[in-house]
């Protein structure tokens, strides 16, 4: 039976995610937005690319949540985007209200779906979706680590002059300035990056990764990143749809892992048909633990600000 993927928010991130969902053959796609005509027009345009890209999936644009009924995965991208001078936290109050509405309507029509939250600030927004949905934590996941790790791997590959696909590297923690790229675990085809790059260069790349989002915002002036965020959400959705047991860094609900409980934080997880099937826990150095605790403090402040 064909899977059904709903993407809420037909802006740049949502439309990009819809594009990758059909290209990767994940199933029928519903693109939903409150602005009349926008999801319909973008979905129609995307659907007409089927003969060229050779896909036969349905693509529907809608303003009615009833059209999302029976979705296997719901991806929430709706919300305000950052502009120069804004932090992700500046978006919190307005985006909490948006995500609350999107979640409540989505789960009413798709009570068995897996929720993937992309809206910023992600760690607070996935917590909002969790509280509003009433879903078990394995079925509510935040997209952040895939995106941050992709940026990290890109910068490392560029510095080394190697294919990005041969760079293994991971970012944990909050999706924000306190995120934790892990140089100790980064390698190129098994060779540690510390054997290939100076400490100064590695620190430079870590800092650029932490500021990767605002670097793009400062270029665009009127919006934020969308190509890689949209694709990152679909990377997660594909692992769930295909039950492929991919190990991906995602914002998952911690219940004692890494000594942390009661919040969503970016950690490596196994993704399968049930969503988060398990969190991969490993020993951190004292410095890494301290940095991760800074992420926890920042996330807890965001959670308090949601009022949930």
Contact 29, 58 (CB under 8 A): yes
Is 175 known to be catalytic?
yes
Of the residues 4, 19, 151, 175, only one is catalytic, namely: 175
Q: Which residue has the tokens 């305000």?
A: 80
Q: Which residue has the tokens 């296997």?
A: 72
- Do the bridges between strand 73-76 and strand 4-8 make them parallel or antiparallel, or are there none, so unpaired? parallel
Torsional class of 266: left (φ above 0), alpha (ψ -120 to 50), beta (otherwise): beta
Annotate the chain with DSSP letters as a single string: ---EEEEE--SHHHHHHHHHHHHTT--EEEEE-SSTTHHHHHHHHHHTTHHHHT----EEEES-GGGGTT-SEEEE--SPPP-TT--GGGGHHHHHHHHHHHHHHHHHH-TTPEEEE-SSSHHHHHHHHHHHH---GGGEEE--HHHHHHHHHHHHHHHHTS-GGGEE--EEB-SSTT-EE-GGG-EETTEEGGGTS-HHHHHHHHHHHHTHHHHHHHHHSS----HHHHHHHHHHHHHHHTT--EEEEEEEEEESGGG-EEEEEEEEEEEETTEEEEE---PPPHHHHHHHHHHHHHHHHHHHHHT-
Interaxial angle between packed helices 92-109 and 286-306, expressed in degrees from 0 to 180 and rounded to the nearest 10: 80
Q: Which residues are catalytic?
A: 175
């Amino acid at each position: 039976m064909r899977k059904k993927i709903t993407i809420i928010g037909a802006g740049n991130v949502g439309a990009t995610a819809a594009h990758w969902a059909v290209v990767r053959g994940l199933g029928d796609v519903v693109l939903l937005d409150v602005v009349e005509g926008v999801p319909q027009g973008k979905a129609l345009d995307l659907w007409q690319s089927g003969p060229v890209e050779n896909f036969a999936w349905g693509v529907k644009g809608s303003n009615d949540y009833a059209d999302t009924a029976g979705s296997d995965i719901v991806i929430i991208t709706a919300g305000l985007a950052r502009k120069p001078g804004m932090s992700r936290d500046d978006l919190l109050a307005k985006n909490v209200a948006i995500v609350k509405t999107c979640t409540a309507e989505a789960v009413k029509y798709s009570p068995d779906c897996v929720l993937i939250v992309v809206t910023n600030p992600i760690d607070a927004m996935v917590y909002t979706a969790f509280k509003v949905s009433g879903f078990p934590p394995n079925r509510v996941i935040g997209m952040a680590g895939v995106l941050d790790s992709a940026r990290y791997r890109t910068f490392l590959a560029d510095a080394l002059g190697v294919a990005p696909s041969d760079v293994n590297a991971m970012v944990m923690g909050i999706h924000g300035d306190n995120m934790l790229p892990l140089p100790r675990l980064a390698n190129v085809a098994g060779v540690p990056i510390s054997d290939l790059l100076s400490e100064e260069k590695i620190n430079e790349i870590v800092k650029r990764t932490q500021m990767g989002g605002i670097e793009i915002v400062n270029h665009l002036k009127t919006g934020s990143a969308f190509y890689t965020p949209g694709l990152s959400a679909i990377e997660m959705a594909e692992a769930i749809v295909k039950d492929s047991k991919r190990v991906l860094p995602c914002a998952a609900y911690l219940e004692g892992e890494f000594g942390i409980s009661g919040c969503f934080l970016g950690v490596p997880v196994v993704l399968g048909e049930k969503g988060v099937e398990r969190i991969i826990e490993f020993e951190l150095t004292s410095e890494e633990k301290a940095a991760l605790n800074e992420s926890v403090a920042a996330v807890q402040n965001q959670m308090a600000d949601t009022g949930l």
